[in-house]
Chains A and B, each alone.
Chain A
Amino acid sequence: MSSAAATVSEHGFDAYLAHKRRRRINNWLLVACSLALLAWCFWDTIMFDTDWQRMGGVLGIGGTLERFLLIDWSLLPKLMVPALETLMMATLGTILGCVFSLPVAWFGAANVTPSKYFFYPFGRFLMVLSRSIHEIIWALLFVGAVGLGALPGILAVAMRSVGFISKITAEAIENIDPKPVEAIRAVGGNQFQVMYYGIVPQILPVIIGTIIFEWDINIRRSAIMGLVGAGGLGLVFFRQMAMFNYGGVTLVVLAVLVLIAIGEVVSHYARKAVI
């Protein structure tokens, strides 16, 4: 508003109108270009790439959907243990992710980093690396390193959560009140005491909130780690898929939903208790 008023007072009303018209034309051009791009994407991906004949029309899709909707309830008792395994993997992955993100956050927080020119960019790079690689790719890499089983799944979940936890932690460290730190330094506290008494109490609520949030996300991540043989609901999902038992697949998806709903309720109350 203030810039518009300034334009009016400096160059008169006509200039203001011209400015406004130019902006509107620019906006329309932007919208038109985006729509054209989207239309081209739509044509290229959906019209050009899809094999409509093979899909078998509405009847074929309806038939497949019907097989999904006939839920196979007999699988239900066999889902309890995998659901617990998924929960365990998510929890272990989150805790391990916290352990890994401690040094990363320490390196990547500008005010406590050991060296601004080497460790700070390194810590930031590790954060971006962890977030940019999808958990499936992490899992594939770790299967090569430690073999099949629950461990690569947990490590993949942990590596994926490092980025988020350490980024939030580093930001919390950068925003702390420097006075307690200075006070502890002034009375002769060493580096460890500065961290333990000066920094940790200030950032603890934020970190615990973040960890609970990440745990919630990690439940859904660990639900697909059956791909690498990590067990849990993911393994049941892939097995049911391989057996073409679509009713069972639907039940597994519902079980994941219930598990995450429980996780969301728990994390809601846990965060309330912490903050």
Chain B
Amino acid sequence: MAAIITGPKRPWLTLPFLLPSWTDSLVLGSRRHQSSYRRTKQRLRVKPDASFGSSAERQDHIIYNPPSSAPNVYHTPTKFLPPDDVRRAMRPEEPVKQDVESLPGVFKKVYEKKYHLNPSDIEEIRKLRLEDPMKWSRHKLAKRFDCSPMFVAMVCEASQQKKEIQKQVLEAVQSRWGAKRRMAREDRQLRREAWGRDM
């Protein structure tokens, strides 16, 4: 009973399907054409982009507004052009936008090459690595001789025995991997190979 007394919450006019059919034309006629047209027009009135040139510029000019994209590999950098190539003279000196030194590097630390190891040091590296490969790993040798592990790898190679052991360790670790992890590792490897093909 209470529901009937309070009545419907929405007014009748907002629910057109409740109205009799002859009122259709009335509802249609009450739309506000004039004002909504003006508003739409106003919103569409947008200033052209600044790159299209100021309106004060009266003479004809070419609008060159390429989308941002990676540089074309067929466009040889000026440094790579041979000295007798005409394009060296044709290219204007590019204004330096930003000093290269001020740009952040990819690595946190930049290691300077020291060139401080003697042939006797290198002999010692080789001797230590052959003597006890488990104790003197690449990283330990690098720390002791204050060089990079890459340099140790360039100078000497691990013994065949050590390689075998390392292979077994790797296999033991990989045997514990499930399907998901194995697939993720393989995918990562494939993605890495795709970088070199630029794909």
A and B: real partners? no
Residues of B within 8 A of A (CB): none
Chain A residues in the interface with B (C-beta under 8 A):
none
